Structure 1
Amino acid sequence: MQALRLILSSSILLACAILVGCSDAPNAVNLDYHQRLQTQLELADLTPYSDRHKLKIPELKSAESSTISLIQLARLQHCQIGQLIAEHNSQLGKVASPSGEFSYQIQFLQQLPKCLSNLDDDTLTAELKKVFNNKRANLFLYWQQLVFNDKQLASLYLPFSHSLLEVNEESKQTTFNSLQYLADSKHAVISDNVDTIKVAALEQQLSGLFKNAYLPSLLRALYEQLHLLQQQTELLKTVSFDSLCKKGHHNQKAVILSNIFSKFYGSKIQQYHNMLLREYSYVAPSLKTLWQDKQGQPYPSELAVHPLKLDEALKIASVNHVSWWQTLYKQCGIQPGGY
């Protein structure tokens, strides 16, 4: 039965390679590793990974609206901000994108002080300062709307279809630049230093993440590997070492298992994990900034492992997996690789 299972699974992997060129897919290596173990051990099959929504969308408060009358607007026509407000008002009735609304709030806060310095109307100046203070107080709400509701950022935490196989350096650099821009913008919002935000670059940076598979496929790969490895370790823990390690015997089955471990986990899967962890460390600082609230607390996730803790979780899972094998070596009196 075990031999038949291996033949069938090998046929599936071969067909996969012929049809879509996926023989090098990391999850295929995990599957092959497990099926090789099943030729020697009574282990249940692995449950495939199904990607899920990474973060809960928080209940976002609506920012208090602050309006400028037509009379007030007419007195601002000599200022650049007058045109900005007029263009924004002309879009009333249309649903502005979160990025468009955030951009407007930033430009308003950047441009109004310049206008007020040349405005010879104390009453209007006082009213505009109230509007300014209101927008500044609500700016982080607009930031959150951007992060969670703008469609160009949705792929960062929605379910994704495939795991990262190899790194496209151009996509990686584009992702890093966009994340760094967003992280810098958030710092500017929190520190009330909005003049440093290059708002003209916002849409370009968002488009750098839109339909860019690097980050969502990296996150999916980490979750998938964690899911498979944790399962595998728990299944191995059900195996009795007494059935594998008998005193005075050669323990051939344990030797075969050790060779399987070295060939698949030691030389392929672990190498892939190291690559994923290296890539994750590249984006983690900016991602951490993006996915924390104003108080520096991570936005909640329904997943057992928060996406900001993936590296730590995979390292722990790897240690637990290797620990089982170390116990096998000790119990059976063999060396890694079977010698």
Structure 2
Amino acid sequence: MAPTMCTPSEPWRLATLLLALATLGLGGCTEDAGEALLRDYQQALAERLEQPPPEPAAPDNIGAFPELRERRVAIPEVREGLLDVYALRECHITTLVAERNSALGRVAPASQRWRYELTLLERLESCLAGEAADRLAAPDLARLERLAATKREQLPAATWNGLFASEEWADNFSRVSSPLPPDALAPPPAQREALAYLRRLSLAPFDPEVSRPDPEALEGHLQALRERPYTAELLRTLMLAERRLEEATALLERRLAEEASCPAGGFPAPLKQAAAGPALADWLVRLEGAAETWLADLGPLFATLEAPPPAVAAYHREWLSREHAEAPLSAFRRALATHRERRRALAERC
């Protein structure tokens, strides 16, 4: 089948097609609003420098989030006989363990398994500290102490798997995404709240100064992260801005390479004073602020384990780091700084 073109021969057919697409929300020939800001600036800059506008190149795709097998860490299975678990019935863990070992429990989502580990450890340690422990036979008390110690030791890994093995978390990094609209650069409040909740839930068992949030709210916060792939959208926007700024910088460098060549009427250094510059300058500031805020919120969750899986550590360094030179935020900042410097150089010469 021949591809659909945006330039049919009869004008009335084009009008009909565009109206249908707009009605259905399928306007594939329309330009993203953030892209439009960048392209308008490129066009105005090219005209000011008396050069042809750049041919915009498509930014690279963002990196793929590691596969589930690369994100999950292995946790040794703890095996106890039914009679051994029943001997600890005053600790109120028999029903909990039975549910976890049922057919449904074995295929439960990662978030439910995380809640199970939190609840189990809480009941084991509460039992150890209560009167029920005094009534246990010596072998059963030793078993309770061993179980509590093992589960506490395993909790960081269980916490990691509860988050990083969840589909909701992975969906926030989906490559099936688009750049952010200019009026929606800021991190969604519900998603920032979700990250704060997840951070408290992961810290509370190990830090007495952190109040434990309600574990029952876990699925709701994960769902908030799934509703929109904000992380992926942010990365795409940073990469789009970097590419368009580099293209605009190339225009400046070509003019600078022409000795003693200046645009008529001089050239302003500040981006805000350029044609089409004020809106873009504001957009760039807001984009950088949104990226700094969001990546700072994400960082602690990627540090839940002292030694995270190599694929996840590499993804964080290459895509989510605020310091790594080749990560999108650093590359964007470098492209913006270079562009500003080239504007200053031309302004000083002219």
Give the TM-score, by structure 2 length.
0.74
1:304 Cα shift?
A: 5.2
Match of 1:314 in 2: 332
Q: State the partner residue of 1:26.
A: 34
Indicate conservation of the 8 Å contact 1:237/1:324, yes or no.
yes
Which residue of the partner structure matches residue 13 of structure 2? none
Match of 2:279 among 245, 268, 271: 268
Q: CA deviation at 1:98?
A: 1.7
- Out of 88, 96, 121, the position equivalent to 1:109 is 121
Q: Distance in 1 between matches of 2:165 and 2:107?
A: 13
Residue 236 (1) aligns with residue 213 (2): no
Q: 1:172 aligns with which of 179, 185, 188?
A: 188
Aligned partners of 2:299 and 2:336: how far apart in 1? Answer: 23
Which of these residues, 142, 145, 154, is aligned with residue 129 of structure 1?
145
2:226 corresponds to which letter in structure 1?
F
CA contact (8 A) 1:54 1:159 kept: yes
Cα distance in structure 2, aligned partners of 1:192 and 1:151? 30
1:83 aligns with 2:99: no
More displaced 10-residue stretch of structure 1: 251-260 or 132-141: 251-260
1:49 aligns with 2:63: no
- 1:198 corresponds to 2:209: no
- The answer to whether the aligner puts 1:329 opposite 2:347 as a matched pair is yes
- Could you tell me which runs of 5 or more consecutive residues in structure 1 were left unpaired when the two chains were aligned: 1-14, 334-339
SS at match of 1:225: helix
Distance in 1 (CA, whole Å) between partners of 2:190 and 2:213 is 19
Deviations 1:247-296 (A, max 9, x none): xxx742965999997123x3122211111223334434321111235349
User: Runs of 4 or more off by more than 6 Å in structure 1?
Assistant: 192-195, 256-261
Q: After the TM superposition, which of the residue ranges 22-31 and 180-189 deviates more from structure 2?
A: 22-31
In the alignment, what sits opposite 2:289? Answer: 278
Structure 2 regions of 5+ residues with no counterpart?
Answer: 1-17
What amino acid sits opposite 1:85 in the alignment? V
| Residue 157 of structure 2 corresponds to residue 141 of structure 1 | yes
User: What is the number of equivalent residue pairs in this alignment?
Assistant: 311
Residue 302 to residue 90, structure 1, CA distance change in 2 (3 Å): closer
Cα pair distance change 1:239/1:174, threshold 3 Å: same
Aligned twin of 1:154: 170
SS in structure 2 of the partner of residue 133 of structure 1: helix
Paired position in structure 2 for 1:66 = 78
**Is 2:118 the partner of 1:100?**
no
Distance 2:71 2:295 in 1: 25
Give 1:162 deviation, angstroms.
1.4
Q: Which amino acid aligns with 1:205?
A: H
Q: Quote the Cα distance in structure 2 between the aligned partners of 1:24 and 1:60.
A: 36
Change (3 A) 1:80 1:308: farther
CA–CA separation in structure 1 for the residues paired with 2:46 and 2:244: 15
| Deviation at residue 241 of structure 1 after TM alignment | 2.4
SS of residue in 2 equivalent to 1:51? coil
Partner secondary structure for residue 124 of structure 1: helix
| Alpha-carbon distance in 2 for matches of 1:167, 1:44 | 27
The residue matched to 2:95 in structure 1 has which SS? Answer: helix
Distance in 2 of aligned mates of 1:23 and 1:243: 33
Question: How big is the shift at 1:142?
Answer: 1.9
Find the aligned partners of 2:125 and 2:271 in 1 and give their Cα distance.
Answer: 71
Q: Give per-residue Cα distances to partners, 1:218-271, cap 9 Å, x unaligned.
A: 3332232223323443x236514253744xxx742965999997123x312221
The CA deviation string for residues 277-334 of structure 1, in whole angstroms up to 9 with x for no partner, is: 2333443432111123534999222885544445454333222111101111122x2x
Displacement after TM superposition at 1:99 (Å): 1.4
Report deviation, 1:211: 1.6
**RMSD across aligned positions (CA):** 3.7
Shift of 1:177: 0.9
Instruction: Check whether the contact 2:168–2:226 (CA below 8 A) recurs between aligned residues.
Output: yes
